[in-house]
Amino acid sequence: MRKKIIILTTTAIFLCGSCSSDNTAVNETPSTPNTPQQNTYTDAQLIEMVQKDVLKYFWDYAESNSKLARERYHTDNPGQDAQVVSTGGSGFGLMTILTGIKNGYISKAEAVSRLTTSLNFLQNANRFHGAWPHWMNGANGQVVPFSPADNGGDLVETAFLAQGLICVREYFKNSSDAAELALSQKADTLWKGIEWNWYTKGENVLYWHWSPDFNFQINHKLQGFDETLITYVLAAASPTSTIDKTVYQQGWARSGNIKSMASQYGIPLIVNHNVTGSTIGPMFWSHYSFLGLDPRGLSDEYVNYGDATLNHSRIMYQYCITNPKGWQGYNSKSWGLTSSYSRDLDGSTGYAAHQPNTDLGVISPTAALSDMPYTPTESMSMLRYLYNENYNKYVGTAGPYDAYSLHYNWVTPRYLAIDQGTIGPMIENHRSQFLWQLFMNAPDIRQGLIKLGFHSTQHGF
């Protein structure tokens, strides 16, 4: 389960004229939120629009000094936490920027300059046995404690960042341009500086946190199935601080207990999700590790991850169609539950891990949009719903807002790096397999996967 609990107050914005978009990419006459603006963009136009929009989060609204991803950006309070950098979100941002270069949305030279600034910042930022903290101060690189005992290394957030670093390394590694080659080499150095095996405590499992003040006090083991698979893959692939296969088998795979024989709506779960009962967790569990890691035809001795991620998405879609709690606004065009900003049943607002076991009537657009490689037809319906049918209600300056509830006539005009950051890369993987190819063809990643007993029908091992 993602440990991110945002304790800051989230303003509830109701659809009464305060949520109209200022997105300059769309030249439409604004209408009031109670009269949804109807657009007729083609699917190809919609794909390009949303990818350009989410890129703005990491380009236009990046933290001013480090040029990494701000943890959050609130259009109703733009200065809030302006210097708080998200480590994992920054990894997603690196991949979003690469996608922007590839598609011609930003110039390569400008991006290389920006990325060099970011990697220089990471080189000088606080690290704890090679791992960066969950949050950093963008002005000076110092840790911003996530909680009292979480003021040190966060191995999972570091893994999300490292996934992006490897993609940067691979994208520029054969360049004849000196600045591009130096950027690739810096990304490689940063990746090799992570001490993955320190986070085992000498046991056959990886631990999420270590603090110089509290040691391993949080005691959070990484066990599947959730968002942390990439951590084991990278730890096995590390040329400097690797882990043994047994750490993966007994830790992530729980000696085979990761495998599930249960099903929902007649669809096999494939893996046991880290939730109570035979059900599924929030959708981001099938996104974060798979921005670079290609699940298609990817299997170990226990499960096929292509089936697991596809079925996760199919079950989530079917749950929203079935809508057992009777929420208004759940249908084939408006669907998807994942962790995001939220409105609770008592009207309070904050953050919640939306999933079938915690369904609060809130839709998080990143859930369905980032499912594009798994459920392209259903995800495209969601994209049309947002941009063609409800643009002025649910889309803002950096793409779809983080969450909304038609049942409560509520939307928050706010963004989180970890939610915006999966949309562009996953859509691009659907379109061209761009990031999957970069990451899976990296020699050390391939070696690490083979070491853990993985086979990939898509990548020939």
The secondary structure element, H or E, covering residue 269 is: none
pLDDT of 27 > 80? The answer is: no
pLDDT at 79: 95
pLDDT of 18 > 80? The answer is: no
pLDDT band at 34 (very low <50, low <70, confident <90, very high): low
- Of residues 153, 145, 86, 40, the one with CA closest to residue 96: 86
In the chain the domains, ranked by start, together with CATH numbers, are: 13-454 (1.50.10.140)
CA-to-CA distance for 150 and 145, rounded, in angstroms? 6
State residue 388 phi and psi, 5-degree precision.
Answer: -90, -35
CB 184 within 8 A of CB 118: no
**Other C-beta atoms within 10 Å of 126: how many?**
18
State residue 374 phi and psi, 5-degree precision.
Answer: -95, -45
- Of residues 282, 4, 310, 346, the one with CA closest to residue 150: 4
End-to-end CA distance of the chain: 30
What confidence tens digit (pLDDT) does each residue in 391-401 have?
999 999 999 99
Question: For all residues of the chain together, what is the average pLDDT?
Answer: 93
What confidence tens digit (pLDDT) does each residue in 89-111 have?
999 999 999 999 999 999 999 99
pLDDT at 124: 98
- Residue 283 tokens read as 């959708």
pLDDT at 347: 80
User: Hey, which residues does 143 pair with through a beta bridge?
Assistant: 136
pLDDT of 144 > 50? The answer is: yes
pLDDT of 52 > 70? The answer is: yes
- Of residues 2, 141, 19, 144, the one with CA closest to residue 76: 19
Most confident option among 16-25, 181-190, 339-348: 181-190
What confidence tens digit (pLDDT) does each residue in 377-390 have?
999 999 999 999 99
pLDDT band at 20 (very low <50, low <70, confident <90, very high): very low
Alpha-carbon separation of residue 406 from 97, 141, 295, 326, 450 (angstroms): 32, 40, 33, 12, 46
pLDDT of 344 > 90? The answer is: no
pLDDT of 7 > 90? The answer is: no
- Of residues 131, 145, 161, the one with CA closest to residue 68: 161
Average pLDDT over residues 228-251: 98
Please report the DSSP string for 410-444 in residue order. Answer: EEE-EEEHHHHHHHHHHHHHHHH-HHHHHHHT-HH
- Residue 198 tokens read as 């320190």
**Other C-beta atoms within 10 Å of 182: how many?**
15
pLDDT at 102: 98
- Contact residues for 364 (Cβ-Cβ < 8 A; gap 6+): 283, 336, 337, 338, 339, 340, 354, 402, 403, 419
What confidence tens digit (pLDDT) does each residue in 303-338 have?
999 999 999 999 999 999 999 999 999 999 999 999
Torsion of CA 359, 362, 365, 367, to 10 degrees: -10
State residue 429 phi and psi, 5-degree precision.
Answer: -65, -35
CB 175 within 8 A of CB 187: no
Average pLDDT over residues 363-370: 99
CA-to-CA distance for 427 and 320, rounded, in angstroms? 21
pLDDT of 19 > 80? The answer is: no
pLDDT band at 193 (very low <50, low <70, confident <90, very high): very high
pLDDT of 21 > 50? The answer is: no
pLDDT of 30 > 90? The answer is: no
What confidence tens digit (pLDDT) does each residue in 245-291 have?
999 999 999 999 999 999 999 999 999 999 988 899 999 999 999 99
